[in-house]
Amino acid sequence: MATPRPHQRVGDVAWTKMTKVNGELFALTYGAMVTQLIRDFEDLKAVNQQLDNMGYNIGIRLIDEFLAKSGVSNCQDFKETAEVIAKIAFKMFLGVNAEVAHWNAENNACSLLIYENPLTEFVELPPSAYGVLWYSNVLCGVLRGALEMVQMRVEARFVKDVLQGDEVSEIRLELKGMIEEAMGDEYKED
Amino acid sequence: MEPRRSTGLTATKLHILDRPLSRGKNEVHVLALMRHTHTQSVSLSAFSFLFSEMVQYFQGRVQNISDLENRLDDAGFGVGVRVGELLCHREKSGRRETRLISILQFIVSTCWKALFGKAADALERSTENEDEYMIHELEPLTNKFISVPPDLGQLDCAAYIAGIIRGVLTSSGFTANVTAHTVEVGTPGQRDKTVFLIKFDERVMRRERVLT
């Protein structure tokens, strides 16, 4: 398949314009945070939840920067949204590409495959965390928060993780519906 | 045909200690070359968003500012221990510094360059106390997007970097206390600089005298 991939080019251009920092400092900082969460919550499921919450907070702010700097405007459909996330957003912020795969028949669910996850540098999960801790779960929250700000309600969750011995990290992204822009009651005329 | 990925099955089946250590920025990965990317950096935004979220998380769980700084410092400590070990292998072929001045220089040049892409602005020895040293940094990465609200007065997020310094020092056998201080530069329009005050443990000073 040798079709031109304009999204990828847009992503590369956006990436060159970003100020960069050492990815290892980023990875170690994230690691310090996850370690602290595990110490505080003691329950790995609660850690997943907390990481998702933190990601959500990041996502709702990150979308502004993304729209301002990437030059991307409205997406036609969810299919394009997924491509934009994988080829532009991942590239712009994390310097890596993700791949979109495994569409369902209705075209409202797909998977993001992440081959080089900068968060997982230097990480080795203990076997006791296998199947429970989704180490990079913050990414799911970011996706959920950012898409909510563009009126898309999605569910994002990890289904595979390189750290747990899978071949690739995979985030399942499902479109649950569009958020209708509605006026609050207080603004309505009688 | 998709190119073969760097993180294949074979790599993941090995324990992290059995895999070769990545060589940081110098590593020229074949795949990275093909895609014209460097796998080793991320955007400053990604780091800042993450760091700010971490600060806010800590803030929700502490009573006062010094507790908050302590938690940032602790988080940095763990990073420092790892950074020290990593750079010692990568840049010093496994040789560890044993002298006070060399370890300080290792921090302000090697560590600083690896972490922040530049050397620290100055390293100074205190004129009053022989066990005190100061690292000056005009623009600490952690403070770039942090504006401290007035009710949190003394907070300095560079405590995280102070923790990193303490981690590198402690894991190399130099027990020390490191604190971050904001110092006004005086010139209007310029941001305050940060000074990291390093106070070495007495045992370290005694050993240093023996070695001299």
ipTM, two decimals, is 0.89
Whether residue A150 is contained in a domain is answered as: yes
Whether residue A62 is contained in a domain is answered as: yes
CATH code assigned at A52: 3.30.1380.20
Rounded CA-CA distance A88/A67 in Å is: 11
Whether residue B35 is contained in a domain is answered as: no
- Residue B16 clears pLDDT 60, i.e. is over it: yes
Is B135:B204 a contact under the CB 8 Å cutoff?
no
Whether residue A23 is contained in a domain is answered as: no
Alpha-carbon Rg of chain A, whole angstroms? 17
The beta-carbon neighbor of B42 closest among A20, A122, A166 is A20
Whether residue A34 is contained in a domain is answered as: no
Nearest one of B71, B65, B85 to B167, comparing CA atoms: B85
Whether residue A183 is contained in a domain is answered as: no
Residue B137 pairs in a beta bridge with B194
Whether residue B36 is contained in a domain is answered as: no
H-run or E-run covering B81:
helix B65-91
Distances from the Cα of B171 to the Cα of A35, A121, B84, B120, B164, angstroms = 19, 21, 7, 20, 11
Query: In the Cβ-directed half-sphere of B163, how many Cα atoms lie within 13 Å?
Result: 22
**Which range, of B22-26, B56-60, B193-197, averages the lowest pLDDT?**
B22-26
> What single-letter DSSP state applies at residue A162?
G
Nearest one of B166, B163, B161, B167 to B141, comparing CA atoms: B161
Is B129:B202 a contact under the CB 8 Å cutoff?
no
Is B171:B85 a contact under the CB 8 Å cutoff?
yes
Whether residue B29 is contained in a domain is answered as: no
Structural domain total, chain B: 1
Output phi, psi for B64, to 5 deg: -145, 175
Q: Which of A18, A20, A41 to mutate to test the interface with B (most CBs of B within 10 A)?
A: A20
Check residue A153 and give its pLDDT: 93
Structural domain total, chain A: 1
What is the CB neighbour count within 10 angstroms for residue B50?
21
- Residue A6 clears pLDDT 90, i.e. is over it: no
Express each pLDDT in B132-169 by its tens digit.
999 998 888 777 776 666 566 666 788 999 999 999 99
Q: Which of A8, A26, A69 to mutate to test the interface with B (most CBs of B within 10 A)?
A: A26
Domain containing residue A140: 6-15+44-178
Distance from B183 to chain A by nearest Cα, in Å?
25
Domain containing residue B144: 44-211
> How many percent of chain A have pLDDT more than 90?
61
Whether residue B200 is contained in a domain is answered as: yes
Distinct helix (H) and strand (E) counts, chain B: 8, 5
Closest residue in chain B to residue A17, using alpha carbons only: B43
CATH code assigned at B148: 3.30.1380.20
